[in-house]
Structure 1
Amino acid sequence: MREIWLGLPGNFRGIIWLTVGVFILSGVNVLVKILGSKFHAIEIAFFRYLVGFIILSPVFVRMGWEQLRTERLPLHLMRMSLAFVGQVLVFLSVIYLPLADATAFMFTKPIFTAVAAVLILHEAVTKKRWFLTALGFGGVLIMLRPGSDGIDFIALIAVIAAAIWGTANVLIRMLSTTEPTTRILFYYHVGGVVVFLGPALWFWQSPTNFELMLLVAIGGGTTACMFCYFRAFAVGEANAVAPAEYTGLVYAALLGFFIFAELPSIWVASGALVIIGSTYFIARDESKIRSIAENSETTR
């Protein structure tokens, strides 16, 4: 069986890994939405990081402190601060918005990543990239539908969450130049447990045994999702694999309909299509730029 799996093209395996990861994440969002009627998003976030740390702790122990020690703690702290705020806002959007809406708003992350890369990394941007970015923001406006009634506050939270995560992704890119993935995950999870412990106790609602199982499933599912994402982009090319992430909107719409009787509006569907189109071409454009850069390095 292993030989058959490894015999498949790398891009195909990457698509399978990412599709599985997206499906797991959709299931996690269902659990967050169910538990959100009783538990504060901060308490759910605490369990997410605690369970993730426990699952990954054998890897951290095997590495040892010498390999986990970092000289870039300030950058880790900046990235963690953004990620922690973003995580709570994501949970809030999942709890209070229809699943398809919350998922669609999170597809805007690459747009904010592109903008943050210009502001932080001073990356050169082509006119085509600016056009695609503006198009993506147009999709956001379609979903937000600003008008006489104002903007839905929770929808705005979802957009802010995507912006925060998009910026955090740029900081991960900066860290990745010297920090291995395991070290980044170590500080991310340890920081999450420490930061959310106090606030979680403040908002604490004692879970039943069944609810505790669901909270553990959120942490385990999120960790499994991360692993699937890492494997997907490790075995496949980003421009070939990344579009599989858009299956998340299908999962969210189906799960939202059958479990919560939710129906995505025509505005969300239309805006999501615009965002998916713009982010797809942004990702493809970025992949081409990286490929050219890598080829130029190898020919030197």
Structure 2
Amino acid sequence: MNRVAYWESGRQRLRSGRLGAGWMVVAAFFFALMSVFVKVGGRSFGAIELLFYRTLFGALLLGGVMVLRRRNPLTPNWRGHLQRSLIGYLSMGLLFYALTHLPLATAITLNYTSSLFFTLICLVRLKEPLTRTGVLGLTVGFGGILLLLRPSMSSDMWFAAAMGLASGASAGLAVFQVRELGRMGEAPWRTVFWFFTIASLFGALLLALGPGFTPLTGTTVWPLLGIGLTGMCGQLAMTRAYKEGSKFLVASFAYLTVAFSALLGVLLWGDVLPFEALAGIFLIVFAGVLAARR
């Protein structure tokens, strides 16, 4: 195929919506935008409240689609869904906290260590053999974490950084649980629906027993709408990417969220990361791509 035919084929795929793994690029951009709205919303709301509105929006929208398509949400795997939802809720809550206290790229990168922790979980739980690629990925990845969490990091950022890294570890466990639910025969849409629903109920309970709900105003409501809309668009684009594209390419393109977040952090807040942090981010992304090939 010559260059003209290649670009013409690309334009046709773009017009028809058949982007394959390219949908993950769209998803990565929307997830980066969601992180921006979380950071902005953090000025008026706590992490638990931001996460509540994120999951509530998803539960209502996905639930409406399921009603229209007459999808049955009932499942015999309640315990698996409950475990996956609570671990996923913990991961997102920790991420939202990190986003409100760290530079955008740093918080996102720490969360994206999930692929490294997923690899470790598979080694321990499934007794999977560790390949040379796996060894290289883990070594490079955790070396990147050490660079990113360098000793020169200011003391007021250490707790948030630890929470960001914990969000990556719990996200790795959540991905493992999603994998197990898939092996039980659960459809992806049902897994996502119950995650949103259980997380929303759990978040409402925490808010009712704790700080309560912050009154909404015309100024504070728009970041919440932004979180819901961009989060759902990212979820839909990611789902389509895994359906149509090569899994390795999709997993690799997911790390564009880090690049988009870094760019948005510079443009919106003037985030300037030192060389050690940039090198750590690069190593973690490289390790994640290796982990996707294992």
Pairing 1:246–2:255 present: yes
Q: Distance in 1 between matches of 2:289 and 2:166?
A: 21
1:260 is matched with which residue: 264, 269, 273? 269
Counterpart residue number, 1:145 = 150
Q: Secondary structure at the match of 1:209?
A: coil
| C-alpha contact (below 8 Å) 1:93/1:158 kept by paired residues | yes
Partner in structure 2 of residue 174 of structure 1: 180
In 2: Cα distance, 1:75 partner to 1:146 partner: 39
Contact 1:253/1:264 (CA < 8 Å) preserved in 2? no
The aligned residue for residue 237 of structure 1 is: 246
What amino acid is the match of 1:185?
Answer: V
Q: How large is the Cα RMSD of the aligned pairs?
A: 2.5
Partner SS, residue 38 of structure 1: coil
After superposition, where does 1:158-197 map in structure 2 within 5 Å? Answer: 158-177=164-183, 178-197=185-204
* Distance in structure 1 (CA, Å) of the matches to 2:195 and 2:153: 41
- Number of matched residues? 282
Q: Which runs of 5+ in 1 are unaligned?
A: 286-300
Question: Does residue 12 of structure 2 align to residue 4 of structure 1?
Answer: yes
Identity %: 26
Quote how far apart the aligned CAs of 1:6 are.
7.7
Match of 2:12, as an amino acid? I
Is 1:210 the equivalent of 2:219?
A: yes
Match of 2:86 in 1: 81
Amino acid at match of 1:194: L
Contact 2:114 2:168 in 1 (8 A): yes
Compare the two structures and name the one with the higher helix fraction.
1
Whether the 8 Å contact between 1:43 and 1:199 is mirrored in structure 2 is no
Displacement of 1:216 = 2.1
Residue number in structure 2 paired with 1:296: none
Task: State the shift of 1:95 in Å.
Answer: 0.6
Determine if the alignment matches structure 1 residue 72 to structure 2 residue 80.
no
Structural mapping, 1:264-275, within 5 Å: 264-275=273-284
Q: Distance in 2 between matches of 1:148 and 1:38?
A: 26
Paired with 2:221 and 2:38, the residues of 1 have a C-alpha distance of 12
The 3 A distance-change label for structure 1 pair 45 and 207 is same
Aligned pair in 2 of structure 1 residues 7, 61: CA closer, same or farther (>3 Å)? closer
Residue ranges of structure 2 left out of the alignment (5+ in a row): 1-8
Residues 64-105 of structure 1: per-residue CA shift (max 9 Å, x gap): 57x322111111111111111111100011110000111221
Q: Aligned to 2:56, which of 43, 50, 53?
A: 50
**Amino acid in the other structure paired with 2:275:** I
Taking the aligned partners of 2:17 and 2:68, their CA distance within structure 1 comes to: 32
Matching residue of 2:38? 32
- The residue number in structure 1 matching 2:233 is 224
Q: Which one of the candidate residues 191, 196, 205 is aligned to 1:198?
A: 205
Cα distance in 2 between the residues matched to 1:143 and 1:68: 42
Scaled by the length of structure 1, the TM-score of the pair is: 0.86
